[in-house]
């Protein structure tokens, strides 16, 4: 059986930001509990990156707009014969609730930004080896407090991201499930098509091909070039089958 690799490529700036936030939150939670310097630095580095992303754009505004857009899209499905009415109503209610929670939540990342320990570690992360115990005695002693105390503090930080995470998960699920995968064929490693106002491209490729896609484009048009992982000796077949969803 072939192993397939899924590649996702954003076709606009808001989707690029959302995928980065999703990735960073997943990274944040992947090395918990924090038991040593390595897991602590992994966590704080991702918190710092997340705060940098928040500072670059109107994340909350874009998410609220998208929650409304998805509600309108679901409304259009109500008239379709044979559609699961209860499922549509439940999803619309989820979107509505998520929007209300996000609207009343504190400023994105505010609790993290105001935390003294996060601030101290963040300042030192750009210095090579700048989080040694002699550079950051605060972090050193924090790592010696009880695991229970540390876990509770980390949980408070993660909980502060919940309104954002809940809205984002809901939106990305709906977008990802909005289009089926279709079989496509590239010729001499190249494929192009119209995006039809899509937000996201999802591409599945067999691992044995040892190829990866280089995607460029925007919501109305995109191009995909397939390149070998081994740039010296790898070959790109004349015809290559892959699966593509324009979401």
What band does 142 get if pLDDT is binned at 50, 70 and 90?
A: very high
- Which pLDDT score, from 0 to 100, does residue 227 have? 95
Structure tokens at 172: 């990305």
- Which pLDDT score, from 0 to 100, does residue 74 have? 87
Mean pLDDT of 102-125: 94
Q: Report which of residues 27 and 218 the model is more confident about.
A: 27
**Pairing assessment for the beta strands 221-228 and 211-217 based on DSSP bridges:** antiparallel
Strands (E), 40-189: 182-187
Distances (CA, A) of 210 to 13, 142, 214, 217: 29, 45, 13, 23
Neighbours of 226 (CB within 10 A): 20
Q: How far apart are CA 113 and CA 87, in angstroms?
A: 38
- 164 with 191, same domain: the answer is no
- CA dihedral over 218, 224, 228, 229, signed as positive or negative: positive
Percent of the chain with pLDDT over 90: 79
Residues in the chain: 247
**199 part of a folded domain:** yes
- Residue 197 belongs to domain with CATH number: 2.60.440.10
Structure tokens at 155: 């949980």
Strand-pairing partners, residue 10, are 200
Q: Which of 23-27, 71-75, 210-214 has the lowest mean pLDDT?
A: 71-75
Q: For residue range 204-227, what is the model confidence (pLDDT) as tens digits?
A: 999 988 999 999 987 789 999 999
- 172 with 68, same domain: the answer is yes
H and E: helices and strands count for the chain: 9, 7
What band does 67 get if pLDDT is binned at 50, 70 and 90?
A: very high
Residues 6+ apart with CB under 8 A from 130: 124, 136
Q: How far apart are CA 104 and CA 70, in angstroms?
A: 20
- 138 with 172, same domain: the answer is yes
Mean pLDDT of 102-114: 93
What band does 85 get if pLDDT is binned at 50, 70 and 90?
A: confident
What band does 163 get if pLDDT is binned at 50, 70 and 90?
A: very high
- Which pLDDT score, from 0 to 100, does residue 246 have? 94
Q: How far apart are CA 141 and CA 63, in angstroms?
A: 38
Rounded to the nearest integer, the mean pLDDT of the chain is 93
- Which pLDDT score, from 0 to 100, does residue 57 have? 79
- 117 with 202, same domain: the answer is no
- Which pLDDT score, from 0 to 100, does residue 224 have? 96
What band does 76 get if pLDDT is binned at 50, 70 and 90?
A: confident
pLDDT at 38 over 90: yes
Q: How far apart are CA 204 and CA 182, in angstroms?
A: 10
Q: Which of 79-83, 101-105, 131-135, 200-204 has the lowest mean pLDDT?
A: 79-83
- Domain that includes residue 213, residue range: 182-246
Q: How far apart are CA 220 and CA 33, in angstroms?
A: 44
- Ramachandran area for residue 170 (φ above 0: left; ψ -120 to 50: alpha; else beta): alpha
Cβ atoms of 218 and 10 within 8 Å: the answer is: no
Mean pLDDT of 228-241: 90
- Which pLDDT score, from 0 to 100, does residue 78 have? 75
What's phi and psi for 214, nearest 5 deg?
-110, 115
- Which pLDDT score, from 0 to 100, does residue 245 have? 96
Among 177, 212, 230, residue at a domain's last position: 177
The tally of domains found in the chain comes to 2
**Pairing assessment for the beta strands 221-228 and 182-187 based on DSSP bridges:** unpaired
- Which pLDDT score, from 0 to 100, does residue 218 have? 77
Q: Which of 80-84, 127-131, 195-199, 231-235 has the lowest mean pLDDT?
A: 80-84
- CA dihedral over 40, 45, 47, 48, signed as positive or negative: positive
**222 part of a folded domain:** yes
- 146 with 107, same domain: the answer is yes
Tokens 């995909």 — which residue? Answer: 224
- Residue 96 belongs to domain with CATH number: 1.10.3900.10
Neighbours of 101 (CB within 10 A): 14
């Amino acid at each position: 059986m072939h192993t397939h690799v899924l590649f996702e490529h954003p076709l606009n700036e808001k989707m690029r930001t959302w995928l980065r936030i999703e990735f960073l939150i997943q990274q944040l939670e992947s090395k918990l509990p924090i038991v040593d310097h390595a897991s602590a630095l992994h966590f704080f580095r991702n918190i710092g990156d997340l705060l940098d992303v928040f500072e670059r754009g109107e994340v909350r505004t874009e998410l609220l707009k998208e929650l409304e857009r998805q509600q309108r899209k679901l409304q259009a499905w109500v008239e379709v014969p044979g559609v699961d009415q209860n499922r549509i109503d439940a999803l619309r209610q989820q979107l509505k609730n998520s929007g209300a929670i996000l609207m009343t939540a504190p400023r994105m990342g505010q609790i993290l930004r105001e935390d003294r320990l996060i601030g101290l570690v963040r300042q030192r992360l750009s210095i090579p080896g700048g989080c040694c115990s002699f550079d950051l005695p605060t972090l050193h002693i924090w790592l010696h407090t009880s695991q229970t105390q540390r876990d509770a503090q980390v949980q408070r930080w993660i909980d502060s991201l919940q309104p954002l995470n809940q809205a984002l998960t809901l939106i990305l699920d709906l977008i990802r499930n909005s289009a089926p995968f279709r079989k496509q064929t590239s010729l001499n490693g190249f494929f192009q098509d119209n995006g039809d106002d899509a937000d996201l491209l999802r591409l599945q490729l067999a691992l044995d091909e040892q190829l990866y896609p280089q995607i460029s484009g925007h919501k109305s048009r995109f191009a995909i070039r397939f390149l070998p992982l081994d740039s010296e000796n790898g070959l790109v077949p004349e015809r290559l089958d892959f699966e593509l969803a324009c979401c």
